Amino acid sequence: MNCRGSRFILFVTVITLVLLCAGQAFAAQKWKLGHVALPDADNSYHATAMKFKELLAEKTDIKVMVFPQRQLGDDREMLEGVPTGLLEVTAATLGPISAFEPKVGLLELPFLFNNLDHLDAVLDGSIGRDLLNGLEKADYKGLGFFDDGINNITNSKHAIHSSADFKGLQMRTIEAPVRIAVSKSLGANPVPVAYSELYTALQTGVVDGQSNPNWVISSRSLWEVQKYVSVTNHIWGGAALVMNLEKFNALSAEDQKIVLAAGQEACQHGRKMGRDAEAMHLQKAIDHGMIVDKNPDLASMRKATSSVYKNIYIDQPTWKPIIEKINQIGQKF
């Protein structure tokens, strides 16, 4: 083979390799995002997931595939799958997340926030970002907080108007130390029950009542197994959008900024959609015959749950300055 032929073969080989590399570089990334909720437009989980997908499609070559309603497992299973790469992103409830980073659990302390503006100032401010950054110890990149919902109480035995009405009740709770402590402080007996088993546990009398946002009452048709609702708004039920830390770190600096901004915007959108629908869900419960106490004795409940803070300051001393800072922020609201 002459010299000219050798150079031509070399040229073709180089061009082929360049085109192959370029094709790999510009090929769209595909990320799986899973969550446990129904694929309803006004559900905060699904609204957050879909907005995140939309924003990344507009600004990057990342294609997000959303898998709702436990298609990829429950919260715990998906959280365990994110660091291993089985899925890239999950929108998960804060209780299961706190198993990997307990400090985020402080956001679900009872009566911590004065109102929604106070809550959002914390979630979107430096406290929220510091708590999300703490998830990196467990190989997650925290993108933002959204609402599982503001918790109210339902019960099948009698109306719950004051803290005294909790005495002796078997109350379903998630396996999160803060939630269990709140139930005990009110005089109830906490019984950890998985969300997937909630309806059956209420139907069979394993538990008398439960604490959840109004959308859960609606989506699970809890009026079939519960009689009373008390609008206590005693706990912010939190959730967060988290992704695989290694995947995030592999992005360019510019794409990292875009993903973080998209995560926060998506979470804010999810909060709004969920909150706008809460009154509708409560009215749906009323329409199905549930008896609602819209003005329970919150002062008695605040007093009863104050013991939770005393114990937390002993068990988790590093939480105290964060809680104090949250209280300081609350003075503006």
CATH of the domain at 218: 3.40.190.170
Q: Which two tokens stand for residue 94?
A: 């804060």
Q: Is the separation of the CB atoms in 106 and 321 below 8 Å?
A: no
Model pTM score: 0.87
Mean pLDDT value across residues 247-254:
97
Task: Say how many domains are in the chain.
Answer: 1
pLDDT reading at 288 higher than 60: yes
Look at residue 20 and tell me if it is in a domain: no
Q: Is the separation of the CB atoms in 259 and 248 below 8 Å?
A: yes
Burial 153-186 (b: 16+ CB within 10 A, else e): bbbbeebbebbebbeebbbbbbebbbbbbbbbbb
Look at residue 9 and tell me if it is in a domain: no
pLDDT reading at 154 higher than 80: yes
Place of tokens 């509708």: 280
Look at residue 3 and tell me if it is in a domain: no
Look at residue 1 and tell me if it is in a domain: no
Look at residue 4 and tell me if it is in a domain: no
Torsion-angle region of 85 (φ positive above 0: left; ψ -120 to 50: alpha; else: beta): left
Q: Is the separation of the CB atoms in 144 and 269 below 8 Å?
A: no
Look at residue 186 and tell me if it is in a domain: yes
Place of tokens 């769209």: 28
Mean pLDDT value across residues 192-220:
94
**Angle subtended by helix axes 116-123 and 126-133, to nearest 10:** 50
* CA 259 to chain CA centroid, nearest Å: 18
Among 149, 134, 132, residue whose Cα is nearest residue 264: 132
Burial 30-63 (b: 16+ CB within 10 A, else e): ebbbbbbbebbebbbbbbbbbbbbebbeeebebe
What span, in angstroms and rounded, lies between the C-alpha atoms of 144 and 239?
9
Residue 63 is predicted with a pLDDT of 98
Residue 252 is predicted with a pLDDT of 97
Q: Report the amino acid identity of residue 281.
A: H
Look at residue 21 and tell me if it is in a domain: no
Q: Which two tokens stand for residue 295?
A: 């003005």
Residue 172 is predicted with a pLDDT of 97
Residue 22 pLDDT grade (very low, low, confident, very high; cuts 50, 70, 90): very low
Task: Look up the domain containing 67 and give its range.
Answer: 29-330
Look at residue 197 and tell me if it is in a domain: yes
- Per residue in 89-118, pLDDT (tens digit) is 999 999 899 999 999 999 999 999 999 999
What span, in angstroms and rounded, lies between the C-alpha atoms of 312 and 293?
30
Tally: H helices and E strands in the chain: 13, 9
